[in-house]
Amino acid sequence: MARKKITVVGAGFVGATLAQRLAEMELGDVVIVDIPATEGMPAGKALDIMESAPIYGYDARVSGTTSYESTAGSDIVVITAGIPRKPGMSRDDLLNTNAGIVKSVTENVVKFSPNCILIIVSNPLDAMCLVALKTSKFPKHRVLGMAGVLDSARMRTFIAEALNVSVENVHAMVLGGHGDTMVPMPRFSTVSGIPITELLPKDKIEAINQRTRDGGAEIVKLLKTGSAYYAPSASTAEMVESILKDKNKILPCAVYLEGEYGVDGVFVGVPAKLGSKGLVDVIQLNLSVDERAQLLKSASAVKELSAALK
């Protein structure tokens, strides 16, 4: 059986770390692409990853390039190209710069991999997904955004810390847009099946929710240059794995909604089943009045930002 092929566009912090993780997980051969101005850099990072393979013991070809020919026939293409946030910037401040980048990258990708599944990582995430969907003209099951897995992983980290339990016992659900209005869902966040609403007092849960919403900014503030990449790349790798191994994992992802949760015509984070065709199903949770109101508020923030796309 031939190996799967995964292209990662953007050989920066997120892209290169993702390429390393995909190779170590032996999910397929990996092609890293960046702009011509970075000449040599993607190839250099790819070779460095290849030379770790004998030590870690993985068989995956990793190559780096500044042209799209060698991306041809990719099963999955992950787009991490763009500029990251600086301290004090919101994800939304990146809107039109990254929209231009995502549009041109998508055009190139589609030329060489017309049947791929696109996973978008560039921010502001939900709006960039819409740019990729419109530019690619792909069906919605082949355009996904990575945000919810990351936001939920952050929430899981804080829950595990608060209760001093293994992170493996903790599941969390964060829905909505990947921005300040994201909606952590304590009722659907559990420790070995027990909702955290039965394990933690209200004020502690609210503090965890707020730290989750601010999770990206907390890292940006500490790093001073650039934004998070270890957890974002790990989150993307989990989505790639669920698709390529047809695992049908239910993961919170940004998907194009057409009426689900009362939202229409935008990408918003919802629980999604990911398998070999990409998006298999949107899972509809039975939300409380308050949860639904928060989700709709977040969706309208995404809608407003998406409408500002030039």
Q: Active-site residues: which are they?
A: 178
Q: Which of 191, 160, 209, 185 is nearest to 261 (CA)?
A: 185
Judged by CB under 6 A, how many residues of this single chain contact ligand APR?
26
Q: Are 274 and 280 in contact (CB under 8 A)?
A: yes
Kindly state the tokens that stand for 208: 């965890």
CB closer to ligand APR, 38 vs 169: 38
Provide, rounded to whole angstroms, the least separation between the CB of residue 86 and ligand APR.
11
82 contacts ligand APR (rule: CB under 6 A): yes
What's the farthest any 2 CA atoms get from each other in the chain?
55
Interacting span for ligand APR (CB under 6 A) from 121-129, 161-169, 195-203, 245-253: 121-129
The answer to whether the beta carbons of residues 149 and 136 sit under 8 Å apart is no
Contacts of ligand APR in 25-64 (CB under 6 A): 34-35, 38
Q: Is 123 in the site for ligand APR (CB under 6 A)?
A: yes
Describe the strand order of the beta sheet including 170-171 as a list of residue ranges: 170-171, 190-191, 194-195
| Residue 232 vs 278, nearer CB to ligand APR | 232
Give min distance, CB of 107 to ligand APR, in A.
Answer: 10
Q: Is 10 in the site for ligand APR (CB under 6 A)?
A: yes
The residue number with the shortest CB distance to ligand APR is 12
Q: Which of 11, 219, 254, 302 binds ligand APR (CB under 6 A)?
A: 11
Q: Is the dihedral of CA 275, 135, 31, 126 positive or negative?
A: negative
Whether 252 and 174 have beta carbons less than 8 Å apart is answered as: yes
Among 32, 43, 105, 257, binds ligand APR (CB under 6 A): 105
Stretch that binds ligand APR, among 13-21, 56-64, 133-141, 289-297 (CB under 6 A): 13-21
235 binds ligand APR (CB under 6 A): no
What token pair was written down for 214? 């601010």
Contact between 92 and ligand APR per CB under 6 A: no
Measuring CA to CA, which residue among 239, 23, 230, 214 is closest to residue 145?
239
The burial of 225, by beta-carbon neighbours within 10 Å (0-12 exposed, 13-18 middle, 19 or more buried), is given as exposed
7 binds ligand APR (CB under 6 A): no
H or E stretch at 174: strand 174-175
Binding residues (CB under 6 A) for ligand APR: these are: 9-15, 34-35, 38, 80-82, 84-85, 98, 101, 104-105, 121-123, 226-227, 229, 232
